[in-house]
Amino acid sequence: MQGNDDIILSATGIEKVFPGAKALNNVNFQLRRGEVHALLGENGAGKSTLVKCITGAYRRDGGKLVLDGAEIDPRDTFEAQRLGIGTVYQEVNLLPNLTVAENLFLGRQPRRFGLVDAAEMNRRARALLSGYELDVDVRTELSSCSVAVQQVVAIARAVDLSGKVLILDEPTASLDAHEVEMLFAIVRRLKSQGLGVIFITHFLEQVYAICDRITVLRNGQLVGTRDAAALPRRELIAMMLGRELGDEIKQAGNAQASEGAVRYRFRGYGRKGHIAPFDLEVRKGEVVGVAGLLGSGRTETAEILFGAEKADSGTAEVDGKPIDISSPRTAIRHRFGFCPEDRKTDGIIGDLSVRENIALALQARRGWARPISRAEQDRLADRYIAALDIRTSDREKPIRLLSGGNQQKAILARWLATNPEFLILDEPTRGIDVGAHAEIIRLIENLCEQGMSLIVISSELDELVAYSRRVIVLRDRAHVSELVGEEVTTSHIVEAIAAADKREAGQ
């Protein structure tokens, strides 16, 4: 820990007013040379507003910005970049159809005799990336690189263009554990070069893994700045929420949950190349958790159960009667519901209103010949907006304008509107803030109490432990273990994921 006040960027008394709301109220923020500084807060706390004021995307209404000893007032992101502040966003802001080298040097390509010197550009690109331990051909198209590599290229470009302050706005949201580690190695190296890094994320483990200091915002106000090492997780969450999240972590699983009859039984169910055949039983009013690393076959399990991918082996039964689930249509007919993982591409239809998004699945089940009347749609939407506490100014608002947590709740509402008896949730809490997190968990528990059977896939183990009576553990596209009742603890799940030898699923 550095004791000296080697401040590279300092923001004092930042104010930002939006019509009808004060987004930032007298916020102070200080970034040291060579530190990784987490900026945390619930959605709407003002982190992105603060970052936008620093990068010039917004004009601040008050306060002072000092970069490297000189007062700055960036009018737009380009000026901020020229001054030395670079930003990398969650969605990679590079061009997929250009090569890696072209992306790095767009707008500043080396020229000879007035023409772009591609050989020189590729040479410089290789030199630039050599510090990032990246094994890519700079002449390949960016779209053929993995998201992690694209992210690193974006960082390399930002650092090369600016070089004093690097802002990482949720860069890890779509990376798996290995890729996150690779990214962190790069961040540590940049830090040792004296760069100041501002890191925004929803993953608290990552904050503790890499950050030196933490600044928490709430409702546009500064809550405090602390050393990460001296701030326990519980306290951090309390700072973010402004209250104790009493039931954030439950110690044991829901061992006492219902012992109802088995409703759904899948035997030898699987599909070549997707997921090895597995047996699965789900009781009425039971939550079955699915755990495993990214790529272990979690999503594939969900897709096959919902008929989005056709099973090529095994049988499915409901209440002892064999059923055929060869497409989502047939699955919906058997009162199945599925909230997919990537709500932006698979779930919401951004330009449609909240009402239309909620009514979608019910309409699909009734068939297009029997439209749901407008009055009924309005009733439906209002009921779920109230029941799930979806925060929207009105039901006709395009859903893309809602925050991630509220979009997630709207998708849940879409399936709840069809009165499903078997609901599959894939990462229901990914990318949403801590408060909405707790609400979704509460919702899952409620649904289960009402007798619905659920399958929940999640990488948040604490969460799985909180609501699951049984947890299926996946590895290498196969179900390798099943934990029941008392066995359901985070450490058991981690052990099962890590175990080298395979235990057979479902004894």
DSSP of 60-88? -SEEEEEETTEEE--SSHHHHHHHTEEEE
Residue 106 or 294 with smaller CB distance to another protein: 106
In angstroms, how far is the first alpha carbon of the chain from the final one?
A: 51
Least separation in angstroms between residue 305's CB and another protein is: 19
Residue 18 or 78 with smaller CB distance to another protein: 78
- The number of residues in the chain equals 507
Can you tell me which of 6, 13, 59, 146 binds another protein, judged by CB under 8 A?
Answer: 146
Q: Report the alpha-carbon distance of residue 454 to residue 129 in Å, rounded.
A: 46
Least separation in angstroms between residue 106's CB and another protein is: 5
Contact status: 144 vs another protein (CB under 8 A): yes
Are β-strands 196-200 and 165-169 bridged in parallel, bridged antiparallel, or unpaired? parallel
Least separation in angstroms between residue 383's CB and another protein is: 37
The amino acid at residue 506 is G
Can you tell me which of 78, 319, 324, 329 binds another protein, judged by CB under 8 A?
Answer: 78
Q: How many residues bind another protein (CB under 8 A)?
A: 25
Residue 55 or 392 with smaller CB distance to another protein: 55
Residue 30 or 81 with smaller CB distance to another protein: 81
Can you tell me which of 143, 193, 326, 419 binds another protein, judged by CB under 8 A?
Answer: 143
Rg (CA), the chain: 25
The runs of H, that is alpha helices, within 56-176 are 77-83, 100-105, 118-130, 147-161
- Cβ atoms within 10 Å, residue 376: 12
Residue 95 or 252 with smaller CB distance to another protein: 95
Residue 233 or 344 with smaller CB distance to another protein: 344
Binding piece for another protein, criterion CB under 8 A, among 138-146, 237-245, 253-261, 479-487: 138-146
Contact status: 12 vs another protein (CB under 8 A): no
Are β-strands 70-72 and 62-67 bridged in parallel, bridged antiparallel, or unpaired? antiparallel
Q: Report the alpha-carbon distance of residue 147 to residue 182 in Å, rounded.
A: 12
Least separation in angstroms between residue 103's CB and another protein is: 8
Q: Output the six-digit token pair for 116.
A: 């772009």
Can you tell me which of 66, 72, 118, 497 binds another protein, judged by CB under 8 A?
Answer: 118
Binding piece for another protein, criterion CB under 8 A, among 11-19, 75-83, 440-448, 459-467: 75-83
Residue 343 or 469 with smaller CB distance to another protein: 343
* Of 424, 423, 427, the residue nearest 405 (C-alpha): 427
Q: Is 133 helix (H, G, I), strand (E, B) or coil?
A: coil
Residue 167 or 412 with smaller CB distance to another protein: 167
Least separation in angstroms between residue 98's CB and another protein is: 6
Q: Is the torsion defined by CA of 305, 310, 316, 318 positive or negative? A: positive
Strand intervals (E) in 130-274 = 165-169, 196-200, 213-218, 221-227, 262-271
Kindly identify the residues of this chain, within the stretch 158-197, that bind another protein according to CB under 8 A: none
Least separation in angstroms between residue 88's CB and another protein is: 11
Whether residue 113 contacts residue 66, with contact meaning beta carbons closer than 8 Å, is answered with no
* Of 190, 186, 180, the residue nearest 132 (C-alpha): 186
Residue 58 or 203 with smaller CB distance to another protein: 58
Q: Output the six-digit token pair for 131.
A: 């510090």
Contact status: 141 vs another protein (CB under 8 A): yes
Least separation in angstroms between residue 469's CB and another protein is: 33
Q: Output the six-digit token pair for 474.
A: 């996946």
Q: Report the alpha-carbon distance of residue 68 to residue 32 in Å, rounded.
A: 10
Least separation in angstroms between residue 143's CB and another protein is: 7
Site string for another protein, 87-116 (x = CB under 8 A): ------xxxxxx---xx--xx-x-x--xxx
Query: Which residues sit at the interface with another protein, rule CB under 8 A?
Result: 77-78, 81, 93-98, 102-103, 106-107, 109, 111, 114-116, 118, 139-141, 143-144, 146
